[in-house]
Structure 1
Amino acid sequence: MKIVLRVDASIEMGSGHVMRCLTLADALTQAGAECHFICREHPGHLNALITERGHIVNSLPYIEQHKQRQYSKAEELAHANWLRATQEQDLESCIPILKLLQPDWLIVDHYAIDERWHKKLRPYCQKIMVIDDLADRQHDCDLLLDQTFGRSEEDYVLLVPEHCEILCGAQYALLRPEFAQWRDYSLKRRAQGQLEHLLINLGGVDKDNITTEILQALANTALPDNCRITVVMGATAPWVERVQQQAALMPWPTEVKVGVNNMAELMANSDLAIGAAGATSWERCCLGLPSIVICLADNQRKVIRSLEQSGAAILCSLEESISSIKLSPKLKLAEHFLVRLIKNSSIIIDGLGCNRVVNKIWSENE
């Protein structure tokens, strides 16, 4: 089975879309598929990482803004600027690649692409799968995945064709296999409910340098004397040096790690996390890692609301600027409810979602 994945990473959109597609591609390859990526060379792209993982990348050139065609405002999607091209320009670049590869599946994970793109590429693949979180636009696909906790099939019924199969909910979250492997160890070591190791991870990019602001806010809190802090940042994060400077000023031992490949192990050996509401939410839940979740964008509201309502995380809302967040009461709340947060988060996801998705793709191809 041959599969093509159309997905991008950039400083603006972050690395999450590529990382979850890589997880899926790794699992599909292990099952016997051949995976190719189509990715545009945005600033902060991850094409080298995809190649390192053994997949073939077909790179699309970055288009300067003055050379981009324009949609009318009525036709534009909410995240249209993430493509840095019109959908027409993008699909024109993709068609020759698809003609050559003739894939069984075309998998699309991009907020700036909708049914207009899908329909024109239908002749060049057998089936189309869409990975989405927003439920805000029409899709022409055979399989749709939305791994958002609390998401319902009803949210997509009017957005996809009748024949499309919809996979919704955190039970389909695309986690790397090491998270399921570390799950038992992680849950067992939390039996005491201690707070000695704080993990901070605001996604792979953190373009607005929220991490430094969190460290500055933490410096004025009452963490235990024996606490230590680990900060994890992506290889393309633009503020690493500034974060390292702030880490050196912290009252507790604070280590900054960049481009790690053992995130499951780091999470399993942490007692509390401060993080964003992207894919790492499901990684933390799988390992029962209690978290204070920072809402960084409107499209994260649903995830955070569902986690908070389930007693699986503590919210720092979008309305609060990071500098005004009073982290002390949040930390006290987290410490008080640590055991409850561990239990409630761990029951949301078992870490086997990627297997379920791979099995569905294979069965649909038979």
Structure 2
Amino acid sequence: MKIVFRVDSSLHIGSGHLYRTLTLAKQLAAQNSEVLIYFICRDLYGNSAFLIQQNGFPLLTIPVQEEVCSQIERVWTDEEILYDVEQTRELLLSIGEIDLLIIDHYGLDKRWENEMKTLSRKIMVIDDLANREHACDILLDQNYYTDQQERYNKLVPPTCLKMQGPAYSLLRSEFASIRRNLKKQYGTVKRMFVFFGGSDETNETAKALHAIRLMDELNIQFDVVVGFHNPYKAEIEEMCRQLQNTRFYCQIDYIAELMACADLGLGAGGATTWERSALGLPSVVISTAENQERLSIDCDALGISKYLGRSHEVDAEQILHTIQELINNPERIQSMSEKGMELVDGSGTSRVVKGIFASM
């Protein structure tokens, strides 16, 4: 069985799409030794495609076309779709007969997918925007929304298998194993975990460190994590060095262990929401991209996190005030932890893999 992923990463896009497809790819390969997996990615500035090869999967690249990539998160025009179709088709033909093509990309929609139907037996789409139509056989949206069951009713074919909600969160296997040995959350905050994604283009990490500087007297240990492509990582490392009880980490592979040791998180919305929830880590959240806002609002309403607003609306004083407020309300922290773990059990990737193999 041949499975191909079409996904991009860059300084602007971030690395979330790539990380979650890699998680799925590794689980698919682990469950069936006869599965051959390939990745097709654009060679965008600040991409994390090297992780694909580090994990042993073949990487095929599409040359960058500046006009296509200037606003990569919007749905692409017909001209932009055509270029990508031509480039992708050529790479797919070089691979041979394909059983499943998995797309995780905000720029692509049914126009692109319809062009791929003759090249792949089935098509799967990973999405969380629900803002465009798809011509797919399988849809995965791992996020929580108050209207999640109706979001795609008119956007995918009636026969499409829909896997929706945090029960299908694409989490790495270590989250399930660490979860089994978690310490119970009693609402006391002695250690905090700070992470705003792989690139953190708006430098929310520095904003968080300014807030941390104002709370030195609280005697809390802070673990601050940044990605390899974070353009401010040198600045952030120096800031951490100047703060007491603050440790700096860059591009680590044991992030779940740090989350498990923490009592409160501070970070962005998006896929990390489900990692934190699986480990019962209540969090203060700032949205760093438009697609994170609705998710963050709904998760706040559900009671698994505290949402402060968009990045340009939040300052260090607001972060400080919110953390102090939560520290003084241990019952709320404990409730957030319990609700998060009820929503996400850490086995979502296994459910997705079972659904894929059952549909083939």
Q: TM-score, normalised by structure 2?
A: 0.93
Alignment-mate amino acid for residue 113 of structure 1: L
The 5-angstrom pairing of residues 99-178 of structure 1 reads 99-101=93-95, 102-150=97-145, 152-178=148-174
CA-CA distance at 1:159 after TM superposition: 0.6
Change (3 A) 1:325 1:80: farther
Query: In 2, are the aligned partners of 1:175 and 1:351 still within 8 Å (CA)?
Result: yes
Stretches of structure 1 lacking an aligned partner (at least 5 in a row): 71-75
One-letter amino acid matched to 2:241: A
| Residue 25 of structure 2 corresponds to residue 30 of structure 1 | no
2:293 to 287, 301, 314: 301
1:179 to 175, 196, 200: 175
2-structure distance, mates of 1:294, 1:38: 31
In the TM superposition, what are the counterparts of 1:1-366 in structure 2 within 5 Å?
1-32=1-32, 33-65=35-67, 79-80=74-75, 86-101=80-95, 102-150=97-145, 152-186=148-182, 189-221=183-215, 224-225=218-219, 227-250=220-243, 252-318=244-310, 321-323=313-315, 325-335=317-327, 336=329, 337-365=332-360
RMSD: 2.0
**Secondary structure of the residue that 2:343 maps to in structure 1?**
coil
Question: Following the alignment from structure 1 to structure 2, what is the Cα–Cα distance between the partners of residues 254 and 319?
Answer: 22
Q: Would the alpha carbon gap of residues 295 and 69 (structure 1) be closer, same or farther in structure 2, given more than 3 Å must change?
A: closer
Question: Tell me, what secondary structure is at the counterpart of 2:118?
Answer: helix
Q: 1:277 to 1:191 in 2, by over 3 A?
A: closer
1:129 and 1:206 mapped to 2: Cα distance? 28
- Alignment deviations for residues 261-311 of structure 1 (CA, whole Å, 9 cap, x no partner): 011111101111101101110000000011101122221122112211111
CA drift at 1:361:
0.7
In 1: Cα distance, 2:73 partner to 2:231 partner:
25
User: C-alpha distance in 2, partners of 1:109/1:27?
Assistant: 17
Give the secondary-structure state (helix, strand or coil) at the position aligned to 1:361: helix
How far apart, CA to CA, are the structure 2 residues paired with 1:13 and 1:69?
A: 10
Q: Aligned partners of 1:3 and 1:333: how far apart in 2?
A: 48
Q: Which runs of 5+ in 2 are unaligned?
A: none
Farther-moved stretch of structure 1 (146-155 vs 253-262)? 146-155
- Say if 2:202 and 2:311, in contact at 8 Å, map to a contact too: no
Aligned 8 A contact 2:13 2:73 in 1: no
Q: 2:158 and 2:283 mapped to 1: Cα distance?
A: 38
Q: Provide TM-score, normalisation by structure 1.
A: 0.91
Aligned residues: 352
Letter in 1 for 2:29: T
CA distance in 1, matches of 2:168, 2:186: 30
Q: Is the 8 A contact 2:210 2:316 kept in 1?
A: no
Letter of the 2:177 counterpart: Q
User: Separation in 1 of the partners of 2:5 and 2:144?
Assistant: 24
Give the deviation of 1:332 after TM superposition.
2.4
Percent sequence identity over matched residues?
34
Q: Is the 8 A contact 2:264 2:281 kept in 1?
A: yes
Question: What is the alpha-carbon distance in structure 2 between the residues aligned to residue 255 and residue 36 of structure 1?
Answer: 37
